[in-house]
Amino acid sequence: MIINHYTEYFDLGKLCFYSHHPAGTASMQKRASTQLRELISSKTFLHMPAVYDALTGLLVQSLGFEAAYVGGYVTGGSMAVSEPLLTMTEQVALGGDIASKIDIPVVVDGGAGFGEPLHCMRTVREFIRSGVAGVHIEDQLYPKRAHYHQYVVHGIPVEEFVEKIEYSVKARDEVDPDFVIIARTDTCRALGLDEAVSRLNRAADVGADLGLLFPRDLKDAEEAPRRSRLPLIYVQSRGNRDGRPIISRNELQEMGYVACIEAQVVICSALHHHKKILTELRQTGEYTGMTNAEWVASRQELEDLIDLTAYYEIEKQTVEARQPKD
């Protein structure tokens, strides 16, 4: 039975996947969650651009990034509905589709778990079944509000947040113990670093694997990894309007962070360049920013990323093989 381009089977009670490549050379692969845990254990710094479809995921993989990220911001933006209006089904479907097309682990924004602890358990189970490697669950009010993007924080009480993480961990342990649970707190902006770190440390007590918070300034960013008992991910939010610093990868490693999410770099740069190209095309009827040779190379790069030649080969061996010879 093929599900999201994977054949599902059970081995000693654990869910494993065989990847079905276009050329038909199915090969046993480690689960993405296992790959991610091994990367974390090896102290590999994870630099994760936020992708919004399978093609951008393939591009990130082709350039040597260790993992990819599917954020609520990019999903909401690409669907033109905004993050707070996303459903679990939509985020699981997108994360799973991207994970089925690439071989590097995919980490997904699970928002506020799409409800209470019981809902968080189903959220985790569905993400595991989709083939992604990890998810972060946050301490925001659910359903989320659009003015979240204006840095208005509606943090839930700490006990409710800890319960969400605790029951997310229970679901993880029941289905795939390697799946990575990331505790995210948005309270640093409103309540300060002490509260944010305290929440992550409480999440560590109930089994979270990694932590994520949003420092207000460089001082917070430097202090957070020293005070948190969870290894921390930094969110590189280019174009943010609340003063959160953009910090280089090398500096983040020196501070003690284990990963960095590039939250807007792919979708915002795409919008910027699409607008520039389409504006010229609309105004002049032509686009002069690329030579014909560059267009040819770009089309070839796209076809290489999606492995189009493998599909040609399948047709050559099947339907074309049955065609009458001239």
CB neighbours of 264 closer than 8 A, spacing ≥ 6?
50, 73, 74, 237, 238, 239
Instruction: Say if 60 falls within a structural domain.
Output: yes
Cα distance between residue 134 and residue 127, in whole Å: 8
Total domains, the chain: 2
pLDDT tens figures, 252-286? 999 999 999 999 999 999 999 999 999 999 999 99
C-beta separation of 168 from 181 below 8 A: yes
Instruction: Say if 6 falls within a structural domain.
Output: no
Model pLDDT, residue 61: 98
82: region left, alpha or beta (phi > 0 left; psi from -120 to 50 alpha): left
Pair 180, 294 in one domain: no
Question: Domain residues for 311?
Answer: 290-326
Instruction: Say if 206 falls within a structural domain.
Output: yes
Q: And the tokens for 216?
A: 């207000």
Q: Is 5 exposed, middle or buried (0-12, 13-18, 19+ CB in 10 A)?
A: middle
C-beta separation of 165 from 116 below 8 A: no
DSSP state of 210: E
Instruction: Say if 224 falls within a structural domain.
Output: yes
Model pLDDT, residue 28: 60
- Looking at every residue in the chain, the average pLDDT score rounds to 90
User: What's the average model confidence in pLDDT over 25-39?
Assistant: 81
Instruction: Say if 73 falls within a structural domain.
Output: yes
Pair 231, 311 in one domain: no
Percent with pLDDT over 90 in the chain? 81
Q: Of 244, 271, 298, at which residue does a domain stop?
A: 271
Question: Can you tell me which residue has the tokens 């980490």?
Answer: 107
Pair 119, 221 in one domain: yes
Q: Of 225, 243, 271, at which residue does a domain stop?
A: 271
Q: And the tokens for 143?
A: 């359903």
Pair 261, 315 in one domain: no
Closest listed residue to residue 306, CA positions, set 43, 23, 80, 87: 23
CB neighbours of 221 closer than 8 A, spacing ≥ 6?
215, 234, 245, 247, 255
Task: Say whether pLDDT at 3 is over 60.
Answer: no
What global pTM score does this model have?
0.89
pLDDT tens figures, 121-175? 999 999 999 999 999 999 999 998 876 666 677 889 999 999 999 999 999 999 9
Return the SS3 of 219: helix
pLDDT tens figures, 172-220? 999 999 999 999 999 998 999 999 999 999 999 999 999 999 999 999 9
Percent with pLDDT over 70 in the chain? 90
CB neighbours of 125 closer than 8 A, spacing ≥ 6?
171, 174, 175
- pLDDT category, 5, cuts 50, 70, 90? very low
